[in-house]
């Protein structure tokens, strides 16, 4: 493993490192368009060769293994064109992948609204619902569906109190929805180096109400090509989705599109049928489609996690597409679903949020390679370990907050020995510990708890464990999850004169919970932990901020909050949940900095419901890597609880892992040493720390490192008068991993 001391170029939180060369050459780029392309920020020391012709600029670079790629770009009639994309192995001849092809985008925009579910807790807190308050919280909405024109009150927005609208401004109208194709009026282009990658930017791009640029990024040491529209809108309440693809692929008797269906079976279409008027959506496994051409293949896939906004299902609704454009060419790419989702979930199809002026990054990936479709599939799947969380020696992978209704579902079958497919699907994604979070009904609370505990035991063995969890929405403020160290029975009622602990004739010891003190007494006595699953949104809007000084929050059993992207998916974020959860993690630790409490932590959660084979489990849920050699046995989960309580774990989207992290605390000369591995090209690593009021970032670019690598980073920081510190690493696709904070200078 290589070791690096990355200290010379520490930058700010949102900064990007650009290596600017002394070159000041400009060339005529696409002479017919009269457009000059700046290469002042291109540096050949990054491993790329650049050549200029009268009508194009060409870049070549070393790809995966012994393959080399060549990309020639031009501007024709103000539109960027891939004049040629070619690939070769070693010194063999170049093989064309694309010729006179184009990157195409489509966008659908709707109107963003806040939900009644968010408004209810704010009203309960006495918050004046000014336009400014509504505008702040609407971007974190979960129960919104800008493209659903039904006036029916759907699940997630239950019938409101008399005189209270379900969502402000309903019903929706058709004229709120706008559809558009990308429009190019390129007036400038720029080739710039940034570490071991090159960005080619074309300005003058319009996509619906968005204005910005097309950005193509190439990476040294891999065939991966990223295309993205980076653009902003000035409209006040935009929610949107986008599709991206390549048009102009050669169609002949050697051209075929391949994908694996949701059962994992290989499917194909040679496009000998009629021309397609619209996209042909594909319910492709792994969000992946591969076009096989003459001697080469090219894969299309989205960023694995940022591509998904807040939702409560992993159903594959078709994230890829192809289209036969004419008898000589075809297109293919990625897309976001619209009305394909099951009716009961239509109210939870919120799209991305685009606050005015925010720079949205609408990305897609393409991976060309020599050989047939099998090489294309393998190469693309390597970036997500085939959608399986990678096993890491000394760690167990935990997923949490699965709304499978384990107890209730088993009760419906009539047998505790029924096996639910949810957990088979979860285990197949490489998860060792699954936390189903039940919400029992009042009238059957104890019975559902019993079936939950027994069902968890029956679904567990020495390789996979089901850890019971319970979600509550009373007493402590907002929603809160209970994680059990062993089965504990309780009811949400304590009539006058009833002891806290009583004996049930069937279930034995049980708790009668009537107030906050009762909850915390049970949690302490029974070795439980509390996490708030979806802070600052949904039914926890305004929380945990509103309880930051309460006895329950200021208790070491209240461990922290859930971490998940979505619930305000904003593609201007640099990190997963960069605007909602990560700042809250740091806020919480500043709140308690001058106490003797343990730091507050994150727990990776999903918030998704029932699961079936073929569902996109990996893409829609982060996980926690717990430092444990073995799973506990039976229904004693105390080892898991202890690991979570100690913060001996990290959370991750899966592509970035942090096997070890150590801190050397020595005032202004402090440092963190962290081992990191990754798949997508890494973007930056950071040490984050606080003084009780402010949060500080030391962010170091890792853009000079290749994909599929591992190294040890040493980052210096100043621990003088600081109280807590954590480490994180983020890649170029928005994926990342975060360690739990530790206390310093107690």
Residue (of 689, 695, 566) closest to 620 by Cα position: 566
Report yes or no on 97 lying in a domain.
yes
Cα 364 to Cα 302: distance, rounded to the nearest angstrom: 5
Backbone angles phi, psi at 2, to 5 degrees: -75, 145
**Contact between residue 203 and residue 186 where contact means Cβ atoms under 8 Å apart:** yes
290 and 433 fall within a common domain: no
Tracing tokens 């949701």 back to the chain, one arrives at: 262
Model pTM?
0.94
260 and 347 fall within a common domain: yes
Check residue 12 and give its pLDDT. Answer: 35
Torsion angle in degrees (nearest 10) through CA of 727, 618, 563, 632: -80
Q: Which of 331, 351, 384 is the last residue of a domain?
A: 384
Residues in CB range of 150: below 8 A, 6 or more apart: 346
**Contact between residue 737 and residue 41 where contact means Cβ atoms under 8 Å apart:** no
Check residue 387 and give its pLDDT. Answer: 98
User: Is residue 630 very low, low, confident or very high in pLDDT (cuts 50, 70, 90)?
Assistant: very high
Cα 744 to Cα 510: distance, rounded to the nearest angstrom: 40
Check residue 152 and give its pLDDT. Answer: 57
**Contact between residue 111 and residue 95 where contact means Cβ atoms under 8 Å apart:** no
Share of the chain above pLDDT 90, in %: 87
Backbone angles phi, psi at 500, to 5 degrees: -60, -40
608 and 528 fall within a common domain: yes
Check residue 496 and give its pLDDT. Answer: 96
Check residue 26 and give its pLDDT. Answer: 37
Report yes or no on 6 lying in a domain.
no
- Over range 369-379, report the average pLDDT: 97
Report yes or no on 469 lying in a domain.
yes
DSSP state of 578: T
Say yes or no to pLDDT of 319 above 60: yes
Report yes or no on 146 lying in a domain.
no
* Beta carbons within 10 angstroms of residue 263's beta carbon: 9
Cα 58 to Cα 47: distance, rounded to the nearest angstrom: 14
Give the containing element (helix H, strand E) for 260.
Answer: strand 256-260
**Radius of gyration of the CA atoms of the chain, in A:** 26
| pLDDT tens-place string over residues 47-71 | 999 998 877 899 999 999 999 999 9
Range of the structural domain that residue 243 is part of: 19-108+203-384
Read off the CATH number of the domain in which 587 is found.
3.20.20
Q: How far is CA 214 from CA 151, 187, 335, 698, 729, in A?
A: 38, 12, 18, 30, 26
Q: Give the total number of structural domains in the chain.
A: 2
Check residue 746 and give its pLDDT. Answer: 62
Phi-psi region of 295 (alpha: psi -120 to 50; beta: other; left: phi over 0): left
319 and 358 fall within a common domain: yes
**Contact between residue 563 and residue 739 where contact means Cβ atoms under 8 Å apart:** no
Check residue 220 and give its pLDDT. Answer: 97
326 and 453 fall within a common domain: no
**Contact between residue 99 and residue 250 where contact means Cβ atoms under 8 Å apart:** yes
Structure tokens at 450: 């019993």
Report yes or no on 531 lying in a domain.
yes
Say yes or no to pLDDT of 515 above 50: yes
| Range in 6-20, 318-332, 549-563, 615-629 the model is least confident about | 6-20
User: Is residue 7 very low, low, confident or very high in pLDDT (cuts 50, 70, 90)?
Assistant: very low
Cis peptide before 479 (omega within 30 of 0): no
Q: Which of 638, 654, 670 is the last residue of a domain?
A: 654
286 and 412 fall within a common domain: no
Structure tokens at 206: 């319009």
Check residue 331 and give its pLDDT. Answer: 98
More confident residue, 334 or 167: 334
Check residue 35 and give its pLDDT. Answer: 64
230 and 378 fall within a common domain: yes
Q: How far is CA 394 from CA 397, 535, 628, in A?
A: 10, 30, 6
Check residue 480 and give its pLDDT. Answer: 97
Report yes or no on 43 lying in a domain.
yes
Say yes or no to pLDDT of 230 above 80: yes
371 and 423 fall within a common domain: no
DSSP 157-169: SPPPPTT--SSTT
Check residue 36 and give its pLDDT. Answer: 61
57 and 28 fall within a common domain: yes
Report yes or no on 465 lying in a domain.
yes
Cα 534 to Cα 220: distance, rounded to the nearest angstrom: 38
Give the containing element (helix H, strand E) for 134.
Answer: helix 131-138
Report yes or no on 334 lying in a domain.
yes
CB burial readout 708-731, b (16+ within 10 A) else e: ebebbbbbbbebeebbbbbbbbbb
Torsion angle in degrees (nearest 10) through CA of 193, 195, 198, 200: -60
Cα 699 to Cα 15: distance, rounded to the nearest angstrom: 8
**Contact between residue 686 and residue 12 where contact means Cβ atoms under 8 Å apart:** no
| pLDDT tens-place string over residues 649-703 | 999 999 999 999 999 999 999 999 999 999 999 999 999 999 999 999 999 999 9
Question: Mapping DSSP to helix (H, G, I), strand (E, B) and coil, where does residue 348 land?
Answer: helix
Give the containing element (helix H, strand E) for 625.
Answer: strand 623-627
Question: Mapping DSSP to helix (H, G, I), strand (E, B) and coil, where does residue 700 land?
Answer: strand
* Beta carbons within 10 angstroms of residue 155's beta carbon: 14
366 and 253 fall within a common domain: yes
Check residue 664 and give its pLDDT. Answer: 97
DSSP 392-456: -TTEEEEEEEE---HHHHHHHHT-TT---HHHHHHHHTT-SEEEEEE---GGGHHHHHHHHHHHH
The bridge status of strand 736-739 relative to strand 695-701 is unpaired
Structure tokens at 411: 């009760």
Check residue 22 and give its pLDDT. Answer: 30
Give the containing element (helix H, strand E) for 639.
Answer: helix 638-646
| pLDDT tens-place string over residues 353-372 | 999 999 999 999 999 999 99
**Contact between residue 316 and residue 285 where contact means Cβ atoms under 8 Å apart:** yes
| pLDDT tens-place string over residues 553-585 | 999 999 999 999 887 789 999 999 999 999 999
Say yes or no to pLDDT of 163 above 80: no
- Over range 326-348, report the average pLDDT: 89
Torsion angle in degrees (nearest 10) through CA of 153, 155, 159, 165: -60
CA angle 285, 619, 264 (to 5 degrees): 20
Check residue 20 and give its pLDDT. Answer: 29
Say yes or no to pLDDT of 308 above 90: yes
Residue (of 572, 585, 709) closest to 647 by Cα position: 585
| Range in 112-121, 287-296, 335-344, 724-733 the model is least confident about | 335-344
CA angle 77, 41, 3 (to 5 degrees): 130
543 and 631 fall within a common domain: yes
| pLDDT tens-place string over residues 424-473 | 999 999 999 999 999 999 999 999 999 999 999 999 999 999 999 999 99
User: Is residue 2 very low, low, confident or very high in pLDDT (cuts 50, 70, 90)?
Assistant: very low
- Over range 718-729, report the average pLDDT: 97
37 and 95 fall within a common domain: yes
Check residue 345 and give its pLDDT. Answer: 82
Tracing tokens 């999850």 back to the chain, one arrives at: 481
Among positive and negative, which fits the CA dihedral 160, 308, 333, 207?
positive
| pLDDT tens-place string over residues 339-351 | 788 777 888 899 9
**Contact between residue 352 and residue 239 where contact means Cβ atoms under 8 Å apart:** yes
Cis peptide before 86 (omega within 30 of 0): no
Q: Which of 654, 670, 704 is the last residue of a domain?
A: 654
Say yes or no to pLDDT of 161 above 80: no
- Over range 257-264, report the average pLDDT: 97
Cα 622 to Cα 195: distance, rounded to the nearest angstrom: 28
Check residue 166 and give its pLDDT. Answer: 54
DSSP state of 345: G
Check residue 29 and give its pLDDT. Answer: 39
Say yes or no to pLDDT of 154 above 80: no
Say yes or no to pLDDT of 165 above 90: no
Cα 334 to Cα 13: distance, rounded to the nearest angstrom: 31
Read off the CATH number of the domain in which 57 is found.
2.70.98
CB burial readout 430-465, b (16+ within 10 A) else e: bbbbbbbbbebeeeebbbbbbbbbbbbebbbeeebb
Check residue 711 and give its pLDDT. Answer: 98
Burial of 259 (0-12, 13-18, 19+ CB in 10 A): buried
């Amino acid at each position: 493993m290589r070791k690096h001391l990355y200290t010379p170029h520490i930058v700010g939180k949102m900064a990007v490192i650009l290596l600017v060369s002394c070159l000041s050459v400009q060339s005529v780029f696409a002479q017919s368009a009269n457009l000059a392309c700046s290469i002042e920020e291109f540096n050949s020391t990054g491993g790329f060769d650049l050549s200029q012709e009268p009508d194009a600029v060409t870049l070549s670079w070393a790809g995966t293994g012994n393959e080399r790629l060549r990309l020639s770009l031009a501007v024709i009639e103000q539109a960027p064109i891939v004049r040629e994309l070619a690939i070769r192995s070693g010194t063999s001849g170049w093989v064309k992948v694309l010729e006179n092809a184009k990157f195409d985008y489509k966008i659908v925009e709707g109107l963003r609204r806040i939900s009644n579910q968010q408004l209810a807790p704010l009203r309960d807190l006495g918050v004046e619902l000014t336009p400014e308050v509504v505008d702040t919280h609407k971007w974190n909405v979960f129960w919104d569906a800008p493209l659903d024109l039904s006036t029916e009150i759907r699940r997630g927005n239950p019938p409101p109190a008399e005189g209270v609208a379900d969502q402000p401004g309903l019903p929706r109208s058709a004229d709120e929805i706008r559809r558009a194709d990308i429009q190019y009026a390129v007036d400038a282009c720029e080739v710039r180096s940034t570490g071991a990658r090159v960005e080619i930017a074309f300005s003058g791009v319009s996509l619906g109400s968005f204005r910005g640029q097309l950005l193509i990024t190439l990476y040294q040491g891999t065939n991966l090509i990223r295309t993205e529209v980076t653009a902003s809108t000035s409209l006040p309440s935009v929610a949107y989705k986008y599709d991206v693809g390549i048009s102009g692929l050669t169609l002949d008797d050697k051209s075929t599109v391949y994908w694996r269906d949701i059962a994992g079976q290989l499917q194909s279409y040679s496009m000998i049928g009629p021309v397609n008027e619209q996209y042909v959506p594909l319910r492709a496994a792994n969000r992946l489609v591969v076009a096989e051409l003459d001697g080469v293949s090219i894969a299309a896939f989205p960023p694995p996690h940022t591509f998904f906004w807040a939702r409560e299902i992993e159903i594959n609704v078709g994230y890829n597409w192809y289209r036969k454009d004419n008898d000589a060419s075809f297109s293919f790419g990625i897309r976001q679903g619209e009305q394909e989702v099951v009716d009961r979930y239509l109210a939870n199809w919120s799209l991305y949020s685009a606050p005015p002026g925010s720079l949205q990054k609408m990305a897609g990936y393409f991976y060309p390679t020599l050989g047939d479709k099998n090489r294309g599939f393998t190469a693309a799947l390597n970036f997500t370990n085939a959608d399986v969380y990678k096993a890491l020696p000394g760690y167990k992978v935990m997923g949490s907050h699965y709304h499978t209704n384990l107890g209730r579902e088993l009760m419906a079958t009539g047998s505790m020995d029924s096996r639910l497919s949810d957990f088979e699907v979860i285990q197949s994604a490489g998860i060792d510990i699954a936390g189903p979070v039940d919400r029992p009904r009042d009238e059957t609370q104890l019975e559902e708890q019993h079936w939950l505990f027994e069902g968890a035991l029956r679904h567990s063995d020495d390789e996979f464990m089901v850890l019971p969890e319970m979600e509550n929405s009373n007493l402590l403020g907002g929603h809160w999850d209970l994680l059990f160290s062993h089965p504990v029975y309780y009811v949400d009622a304590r009539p006058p004169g009833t002891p806290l602990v009583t004996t049930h004739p069937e279930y034995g010891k049980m708790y009668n919970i009537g107030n906050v003190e009762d909850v915390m007494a049970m949690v302490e006595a029974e070795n439980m932990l509390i996490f708030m699953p979806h802070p600052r949104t949904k039914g926890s809007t305004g929380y945990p901020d509103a309880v930051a000084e309460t006895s329950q929050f200021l208790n070491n059993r209240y461990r922290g909050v859930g971490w998940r992207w979505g619930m305000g998916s904003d593609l201007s974020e640099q990190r997963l949940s960069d605007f909602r959860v990560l700042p809250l993690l740091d806020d919480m630790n500043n709140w308690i900095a001058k106490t003797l409490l343990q730091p507050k932590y994150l727990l990776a959660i999903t918030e998704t419901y029932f699961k079936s084979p073929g569902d996109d489990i990996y893409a829609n849920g982060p996980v926690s890597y717990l430092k444990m050699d073995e799973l506990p046995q039976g229904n004693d989960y105390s080892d898991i609880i202890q690991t979570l309580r100690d913060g001996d774990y990290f959370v991750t989207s899966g592509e970035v892992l942090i096997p070890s992290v150590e801190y050397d605390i020595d005032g202004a000369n402090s440092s963190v040493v962290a081992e990191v591995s990754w798949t997508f090209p890494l973007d930056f690593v950071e040490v984050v720390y606080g003084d009780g009021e402010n949060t500080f970032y030391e962010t170091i670019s890792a853009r000079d490192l290749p994909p599929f690598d591992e190294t040890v980073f040493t980052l210096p920081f100043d621990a003088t008068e600081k109280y807590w510190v954590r480490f994180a690493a983020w890649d170029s696709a928005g994926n990342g991993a975060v360690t739990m904070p530790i206390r310093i200078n107690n």
